[in-house]
Structure formats: structure tokens, C-alpha cells
């Protein structure tokens, strides 16, 4: 993706046809979940440096997020998500909501409304369907082909079949299935291991109860929104928490040198006014 974007700027710098140049300098991120918004945030900061490096007028660069639903960052509190949207729009990102993509060609996307947007770059971060093989298992499925489970993470109607990770769908609250994140995958796995052992030993099984530390979304290197165990942050304080979380993770899996390298990269050698 990185090389493709650089290639688009390089080609646009030599292209005299205004229409073709506009296509090359239009970058679209499909989907406004965590991945899509963080990708869009990186593009927001990177575009200025790329424009300078390739002698392209930054005003010709168009960045869009295209979302099928009416809101972005739907796993976040609405107030936090709105802050993220306001920040992105303020810095030049166009966000198209209620705009499902129905067709993609080599040089454009077509929305359900019939609107066509010319582009040479579409970065797809939308939700995906579960593996199509799941249809052949004879198990009850839920949203996006995920496998429906009960509170013990057993496939519905199949007490000897357990489901973990992104494929597992269990609603602790009505309408809210297990999130497809690392913490949920680990916790469903822990529950299943205990319940398999319990079933072998004829003991009472444990109900799944998701306990998540929260969510954090970085929009480039200067802005962040976060919900950490009920503590809602944005801007400077959210960025501080982001770095503390990253350092804590590095401390667990690596050594002091890794932490030093991280701090060096994030605070002393980072470009784009981070």
C-alpha cells in the first residue's frame, strides 16, 4: 500500500491531464472501523510530506472515508466518535456516511446512490464475512456468517462443539455480539478450555463474561480518542495513555532496548510534525 501511494504521487507529478491527475491523487478508505480510521489518520499526516517530496500541490490531494452506515467508529461511545470525526473533517478528510459501495472498477467506485468517484486507490477495511466453509458445518450462524454460541461458547444445538475467536458470536447484551478483537479472542479461548475440561470431568461449566480494558484509536501521531475501562479521553491525554499502553506492552514482550527504540522513534525521529 505504501509503495502504491508513493507511486501515485510520483505519476501525478508528471501527469499533465488534470482529470487523470485527480484520479491519481484521490485516496479512498472504505470502512470507518478502527482500522479504517487509523489508516485515514496516517494518510492525513503523510499527504503533506508526499506533496513536498513529489512537488505536488497539496490542495489537489483528496482523501475520503466511505462508510455504509450513518455513523463512524461504532464500537466507541458516540461522543468520542464524534470528536474523532470532527478532528478529521477539520484537517481535510471528507467522510461519506450512508454510502454503501456497490461496485469497484480499475479507476472508480460506485456508491448505492449512483454516485461515481474516480480513483486509482481504494483501501478496503470494511467488515468481512466469516469463512464460507462455515455454511457447510450445519451450525447456526449469526451476523456475517459467524457461528452462534450459547453462554458456554458451545455452538447452538451442538454441546460437543465449542467456538472461539472471531468466528464466535454470543450476545451478552441484546444486539451486541462478542467484539472481533484480541481480548475477546483470548477470553473466549480461556472459557472454552475451562469448559472442555469441565465437560470431561462432569463438572459445572463456566459462563462467558467479556471483560475488556477498552478501546483506543490513533488518528495519526497527534490525536487519539480512547475509552479505557470507562475513562473517556481525547487529544493530548489520550495520546499519553496510548504511549503508556504501548510501553507496557513492550515491557511485557521485549526488553528495555525495545522501549528505548520506541521512544526514540515516536518522540525524536518522527516526521510530519508528530
Give me the percent of the chain exceeding a pLDDT of 70.
98
Whose grid coordinates read 510530506? 49
Residues 132-200: name the CATH superfamily. Answer: FAD/NAD(P)-binding domain (3.50.50.60)
At 59-98, the pLDDT tens digits run 999 999 999 999 999 888 889 999 999 999 999 999 999 9
pTM of the model: 0.82
Give me the percent of the chain exceeding a pLDDT of 90.
76
At 20-49, the pLDDT tens digits run 999 999 999 999 999 999 999 999 999 999
Residue boundaries of the structural domains of the chain: 2-124, 132-200, 214-267
Q: 2-124 — its CATH code?
A: 3.50.50.60
Residues 225-244 have a mean pLDDT of 91
Which residues share a beta bridge with 215?
A: 227
| Distance of alpha carbon 228 from alpha carbon 233, whole angstroms | 8
Number of Cβ within a 10 Å radius of residue 18:
9
Q: Do 2-124 and 132-200 show the same overall fold? A: yes
At 99-110, the pLDDT tens digits run 999 999 999 999
Q: What is the 3-state secondary structure (H, E, C) of 136-165?
A: HHCCCECHHHCEEECCCCEECCEEEEECCH
Reply yes or no on whether the pLDDT at 174 is more than 80. yes
Reply yes or no on whether the pLDDT at 8 is more than 80. yes
Amino acid at each position: 500500500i505504501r509503495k502504491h501511494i508513493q507511486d501515485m504521487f510520483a505519476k501525478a507529478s508528471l501527469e499533465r491531464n488534470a482529470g487523470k491527475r485527480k484520479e491519481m491523487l484521490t485516496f479512498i478508505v472504505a470502512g470507518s472501523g478502527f482500522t479504517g480510521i487509523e489508516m485515514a489518520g496516517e494518510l492525513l499526516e503523510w499527504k503533506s510530506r508526499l506533496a513536498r517530496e513529489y512537488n505536488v500541490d497539496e490542495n489537489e490531494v483528496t482523501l475520503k472515508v466511505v462508510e455504509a452506515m450513518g455513523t463512524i467508529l461504532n464500537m466507541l461511545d458516540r461522543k468520542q466518535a464524534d470528536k474523532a470525526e470532527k478532528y478529521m473533517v477539520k484537517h481535510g478528510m471528507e467522510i461519506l456516511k450512508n454510502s454503501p459501495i456497490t461496485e469497484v472498477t480499475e479507476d472508480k467506485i460506485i456508491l448505492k446512490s449512483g454516485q461515481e468517484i474516480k480513483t486509482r486507490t481504494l483501501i478496503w477495511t470494511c467488515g468481512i464475512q466469516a469463512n464460507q466453509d462455515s455454511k457447510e458445518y450445519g451450525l447456526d450462524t449469526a451476523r456475517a456468517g459467524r457461528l452462534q454460541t450459547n453462554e458456554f461458547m458451545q455452538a447452538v444445538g451442538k454441546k460437543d462443539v465449542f467456538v472461539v475467536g472471531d468466528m464466535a458470536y454470543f450476545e451478552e447484551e441484546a444486539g451486541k455480539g462478542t467484539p472481533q478483537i484480541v481480548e475477546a479472542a483470548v477470553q473466549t479461548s480461556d472459557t472454552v478450555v475451562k469448559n472442555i475440561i469441565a465437560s470431561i470431568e462432569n463438572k459445572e461449566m463456566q459462563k462467558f463474561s467479556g471483560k475488556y480494558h477498552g478501546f483506543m484509536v490513533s488518528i495519526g501521531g497527534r490525536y487519539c480518542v480512547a475509552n479505557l475501562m470507562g475513562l473517556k479521553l481525547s487529544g493530548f491525554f489520550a495520546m499519553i495513555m496510548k504511549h503508556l499502553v504501548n510501553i507496557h506492552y513492550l515491557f511485557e514482550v521485549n526488553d528495555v532496548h525495545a522501549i528505548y527504540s520506541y521512544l526514540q522513534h515516536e518522540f525524536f525521529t518522527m516526521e510530519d510534525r508528530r
